[in-house]
Structure formats: C-alpha cells, structure tokens
C-alpha cells in the first residue's frame, strides 16, 4: 500500500516516513531538489520501499500533477505535510500564504484530477496556529479545543509575522475542509487533520541537527546554548508542546482508523515555558548543570495563569495512547544537540 508524503525531508515528515517504512508501507516522498532526494534516500538506507520525487515549489498550483500522472493508480493515502514553517520572512503573502494555500490546493487538485477513485484518505498537517485566536491568546479563561478556529482573514493575518504564519495554516486548512464540503461527493478520499502545538523531540537522523535548527527545535537549541549568566525571562517562550514521535504516530493513525475520518487531532501534551526547559536541562543533563541559566526553578507553571489554555481531551480519547512527557522530549532533543556539538 502506497503513501504519498509531501515535504518528506521535513523534521516531522522524516518521522512519519520512518514510521511508514517500519510498518512496511511503500512511500513516495516529495522533496525540493535532487540533492535533497539523494541525501534522504541514503539516510533511509536506500530502502527499496522509498521513492523520492522532486517537487520544487508548492506555490505552483500544478506542483503535484507529475507525481500523480506517474503514480496515480498506486497512491492510496496522501499525507500533505509540506508548508513553510519559518518566521524569517519579509513578504508574508509570497513566502507564507501562497505556498501554504497553493500547496494544499495543488495536492487536492491533483487528487481530484488523477486519484479521485483511488486515493482513499488524505491527512493534512495543519497546526494549533489554525485553532488559536491571537486576540484571545492572552485572555485568561479562554479555552481552545478541536472546534476552535483562528478567525484571521488575509488582511488581519498580515499584522505581524506570528499572525502571518498562523494565517498561512488556517487558510490552508480551511481550503481542505471547504473542498470536502463542496466536492466531497466527487472524490473517494476522506479528510483528517493533525493540529500540533510546538513540536519538540529528536530528529530521526543525528546529522540533521545543525547550528540553526527548524523553527520549533530552535527553541531548545537556543536554550542549550544559552550561557549560565544570561538573564532570560522565565516566560520568554510559553505555550504547549508535543513530541514529534507522537505527532508522526497520529499521522499514521489518522489514515489507518475509520473513526478518525473528519477529525481535527489537536496534538498537545501539556504546557511549558522557558523556565521549564531550563529546569529539565539543569536537572536531567549533568553536562549542562551550571552551564545554562537556572532562573527560578519550579516557577514555570505560573505562566498557566497568563492566558488561554487548551482542552484536547477529545483527541486524547480518540488516539488512546499516552503522550511522551516533557522531560523525555526535552532530554532526547537536548542530548542529540549535544552529540552534534561534540562531533564538531
Ligand atoms: P520543516 O521546515 O522541517 O519542514 C517543512 C517541509 O515543507 C520541508 O520539507 C520543506 O522543504 C517543505 N516546504 C516548505 N516550503 C515549501 C515550498 N514552497 N515548496 C515545497 N516544499 C516546501 O518543518 P516541520 O517539520 O516542523 O513542519 C512540517 C509541517 O508541520 C508544516 O506544515 C508545519 O506548518 C507543521 N507544524 C509544525 C509544528 C512544529 O512545531 N514543528 C507545529 C505545528 C504544525 P525544504 O526543507 O526543502 O525547505
């Protein structure tokens, strides 16, 4: 059984591909260049169940046509993970909105045109960004759930880079649900969506750790490399976290289980703040003790009183597995970073 995974070399997608190969699926992954395809193929040990195709830019509304022309009869499941996750952008529309929105449009268009009767399930990697409301995020008592929607429109989402990234995710997700509403009867596939909060955890391959990491892991990377005498606000970053291995697992269950059809899986394993990261680094990783700031140990939870919280009991019940703890997620991420530091 063949699964198409877009953005196969992404941080989350590599875990998904890894899990798919472990479960004996045939995987067709898309990456942006031959060099990235060669690297990923080697990383997965030249696994014959992995085929990589180049899709240079998902901003192109026909980006996935060639892949479908080639493999349409084979592809049974589509996991669309590719989307820009960076805050280092100048042109919000060109660098975030268009690739996110056109990417999902391009994939839906290709499935409609070439796989209407063969693709059975479609899983979209959306985000908490498509759920939360910036104007309510700091209002105590606000609770976001699987039924909450980021209300920003095209204009509002251009007010800041954070809003712009979140906008890119909600525009893409709305597009997918609208497609189902309008054209659901013309295609065989059913839609499920995965909405993770901040995703941490190790990369599949140690060699993918770099001086500057993917947007979410960079938060841990930065903490590991902050010297002890630096004054860091305990809530410089706060929000919710989830382990990348749990996010990958949810992507597989999302297409494997009938009861997850039509669901938004809000992947949230609990709250955290910068202080909580430093607590784990100081307490659990001996080589970092005294090397990173101590702050005010044990006070990280105070950020819970600051603003909105998340209630994802529905997702937890549906998935039925226990999420990885904050301690394990942070320790595993930091240890891989330290291993990389040691090898240079
Ligand atoms: P990565 O940056 O590691 O992965 C993003 C993937 O999308 C890469 O393969 C990237 O290719 C590809 N991509 C980006 N822009 C384009 C484009 N214009 N054309 C073609 N491919 C493109 O990030 P993550 O793994 O963290 O993110 C994966 C998905 O998960 C995204 O949809 C993101 O929004 C979502 N997400 C991530 C969270 C997190 O905390 N990490 C939280 C919630 C959702 P390349 O590497 O070649 O640029």
Contacts of residue 343, defined as CB under 8 A and 6 or more positions apart, other chains included, come to none
**CB within 6 Å of ligand 1 — which residues?**
7, 9-13, 32, 36, 57-59, 81-85, 99, 125, 127, 169, 196, 198-199, 214, 216
- Judge whether 234 and 294 are in contact, CB under 8 Å: no
- Please state, rounded to an integer, the average pLDDT across all residues of the chain: 95
Contacts of residue 188, defined as CB under 8 A and 6 or more positions apart, other chains included, come to 116, 117, 118, 119, 120
As given in the structure block, the two tokens for residue 85 are: 């996750």
Known catalytic residue: 70? no
Express each pLDDT in 162-176 by its tens digit.
999 999 999 999 999
Mean pLDDT value of segment 5-20: 98
Mutate which of 64, 81, 99, 212 for ligand 1? The one with the most ligand atoms within 8 Å of its CB, which is: 81
Q: Provide, rounded to the nearest whole percent, the portion of the chain with pLDDT above 70.
A: 99
Q: What pLDDT was estimated at residue 129? A: 98
Cα 39 to averaged position of ligand 1 atoms, centre (Å): 17
Catalytic residue among 169, 263, 291, 328: 169
Q: What pLDDT was estimated at residue 204? A: 98
Residue 92 has pLDDT above 90, yes or no: yes
How many Cβ atoms from other residues are within 10 Å of residue 324's Cβ? Answer: 19
Q: What pLDDT was estimated at residue 277? A: 96
Express each pLDDT in 290-332 by its tens digit.
899 999 998 888 877 778 989 999 999 999 999 999 999 999 9
State the CATH number of the domain containing residue 222.
Answer: 3.40.50.720
Express each pLDDT in 241-294 by its tens digit.
999 999 999 999 999 999 999 999 999 999 999 999 999 999 999 999 989 999
Cα 224 to averaged position of ligand 1 atoms, centre (Å): 23
Position in ligand 1 atom list of the atom nearest CA 99: 18
In this structure, the residue with its CA closest to atom 47 of ligand 1 is: 32
Mean pLDDT value of segment 55-73: 96
177: domain range? 2-342
Position in ligand 1 atom list of the atom nearest CA 125: 32
Q: What pLDDT was estimated at residue 343? A: 65
Contacts of residue 298, defined as CB under 8 A and 6 or more positions apart, other chains included, come to 279
Q: What pLDDT was estimated at residue 236? A: 84
How does residue 235 score in pLDDT terms, banded at 50, 70 and 90?
A: confident
Quote the CA–CA distance of 19 and 34 in Å, as a whole number: 23
Quote the CA–CA distance of 6 and 225 in Å, as a whole number: 32
In this structure, the residue with its CA closest to atom 39 of ligand 1 is: 199
Q: What total of structural domains would you count in the chain?
A: 1
Mutate which of 5, 10, 60, 100 for ligand 1? The one with the most ligand atoms within 8 Å of its CB, which is: 10
Express each pLDDT in 114-171 by its tens digit.
999 999 999 999 999 999 999 999 898 999 999 999 999 999 999 999 999 999 999 9
Position in ligand 1 atom list of the atom nearest CA 12: 25
Q: What pLDDT was estimated at residue 234? A: 78
Q: What pLDDT was estimated at residue 305? A: 72
């Amino acid at each position: 059984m063949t699964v198409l995974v877009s953005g196969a070399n992404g941080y989350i997608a590599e875990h998904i591909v890894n899990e798919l190969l472990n479960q004996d699926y045939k995987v067709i992954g898309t990456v942006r260049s031959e060099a990235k395809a060669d690297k990923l193929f080697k990383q997965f040990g030249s696994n014959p169940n992995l085929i990589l195709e180049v899709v240079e830019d998902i901003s192109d509304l026909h980006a996935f046509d060639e892949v479908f022309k080639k493999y349409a009869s084979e592809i049974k499941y589509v996991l669309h993970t590719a989307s820009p996750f960076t805050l280092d952008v100048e042109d919000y529309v060109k660098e975030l909105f268009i690739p996110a929105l056109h990417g999902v449009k391009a994939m839906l268009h290709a499935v409609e045109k070439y796989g209407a009767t063969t693709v059975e399930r479609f899983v979209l990697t959306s985000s908490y960004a498509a759920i939360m409301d910036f104007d309510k995020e700091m209002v105590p008592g606000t609770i976001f759930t699987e039924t909450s929607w980021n209300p920003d429109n095209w204009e509002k989402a251009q007010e800041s880079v954070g809003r712009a990234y979140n906008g890119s995710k909600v525009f893409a997700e709305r597009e997918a649900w609208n497609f189902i509403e309008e054209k659901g009867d013309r295609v065989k596939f059913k839609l499920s969506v995965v909405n993770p909060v901040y995703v941490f955890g190790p990369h599949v391959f140690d060699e993918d750790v770099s001086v500057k990491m993917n947007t979410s892991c960079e938060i841990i990377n930065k903490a590991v490399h902050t010297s002890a005498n630096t004054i860091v606000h305990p809530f410089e970053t706060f929000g919710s976290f989830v382990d990348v291995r749990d996010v990958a697992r949810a992507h597989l269950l999302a297409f494997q289980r009938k009861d997850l059809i039509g669901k938004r899986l809000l992947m949230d394993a609990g709250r955290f703040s910068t202080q909580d990261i430093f607590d784990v680094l100081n307490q659990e990783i001996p080589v970092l003790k005294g090397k990173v700031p101590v702050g005010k140990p044990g006070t990280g939870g105070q950020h819970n009183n600051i603003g909105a919280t998340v209630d994802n009991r529905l997702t937890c019940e549906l998935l039925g597995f226990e999420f990885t703890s904050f301690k394990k997620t942070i320790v595993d991420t930091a240890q891989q970073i330290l291993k990389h530091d040691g090898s240079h």
